Chain A
Amino acid sequence: MADTSPNAHPGWFTRIAHPGMFMGWSRHLVLPLVAITVIAFGVGLYFSFLASPADYQMGDTVRMMYVHVPTAWLSQFCYAVMFASAIGTLVWRHPMADVSQKAAAPLGAAFTALALFTGSMWGRPTWGTFWEWDGRMTSTLVLLFIYLGIIALWRAFDDQLKAARIVAVVTLVGAVNIPVIKFSVDWWQTLHQPASVFRMDGPTVDGSILVPLLVMTLAFSLLFMTLHLVRMRTEITRRRIRSLELAQARAAGGAA
């Protein structure tokens, strides 16, 4: 890969953010991340099915929360990553910010779709309906459309530098939906419960259910980090492919 050494003593930011150096240090992170993700899922699934009781009201349907809550959390966390990267693109014009934005979008779309799907599977036996146009579900559906729009926008441009700037602006504008999702349960009459884990007065969820919830959230977050890192590496490789292909075309043109 692009083994470029801009100077003898690059600063910490250069070491993290220079694409060539990023490829160097991130290579050593992939396998350890895969290993801890697999272990976290193993522990999480053990707690979800074997080491936690059925809820006293929901019964075993509570076990669906251990995939629903982490995917719903990731649907918003992934947007936060894209938001931070969009600022990196617009303020610093940093190529790694572009790469991070592009790598995160399909992951966000997949986790949002999964949150909606697992939610509807839980909703049918518990609320008696697969879907209801309540504040949180509707705003999460809007989030899915924003992700799909961003993916389409990336593909609409050949010039990825130009695409990154336009996508970054759309990402910043679309971020208005995130507080809407978060506070929808407080603003409107809704089927969803208000916040029950991260509260000023501590979680209102019993420890036996909180443990699988947190372990599965950790496992899904590690999965996101692993996939994001690998996809960023692939995106950098693709950009290298593009410049090599251009060089090849130029060489072929010169030889003709």
Chain B
Amino acid sequence: MIELGQHWEFIAAAYGGAFAIVAALTGWTIVSAIRAKARVSELEAARAARKLQ
């Protein structure tokens, strides 16, 4: 364990908070990218099917 001195709680909270926000931001970015990609391929497939009709 790294020795962080008497104020270790504040250091842990700062890094923990930074990790949580960065993880949430990254997760949100990835999920919305995947959703948008899935929706666009769904719509493009529907358009291709319409053209075939």
Contact = CB atoms under 8 A, between A and B. Distances in A.
A59 B7 contact: yes
A251 to B, nearest CB: 6
Given A59-B5, A244-B43, A247-B47, A64 B14 contact: yes
Prevailing SS type, chain B contact patch: helix
Prevailing SS type, chain A contact patch: helix
B11 A64 contact: yes
Contacts of B26: 227
Contacts, number: 91
A114 B8 CA distance: 18
A118 B14 CA distance: 5
Contact of B29 (A60, A230, A248): A230
Interface of A: 1, 49-50, 54, 59-61, 63-64, 67-68, 71, 106-107, 110, 113-114, 117-118, 121-122, 124-125, 223, 227, 230-231, 233-234, 237-238, 240-241, 244-245, 247-248, 251
Interface of B: 2-8, 10-11, 13-15, 17-18, 21-22, 24-26, 29-30, 32-33, 36-37, 39-40, 43-44, 46-47, 50
22 contacts: A59-B5, A59-B6, A59-B7, A61-B5, A63-B4, A64-B11, A106-B25, A107-B25, A114-B18, A117-B17, A227-B26, A230-B29, A230-B30, A231-B29, A231-B33, A233-B33, A237-B37, A241-B39, A248-B43, A248-B47, A248-B50, A251-B50
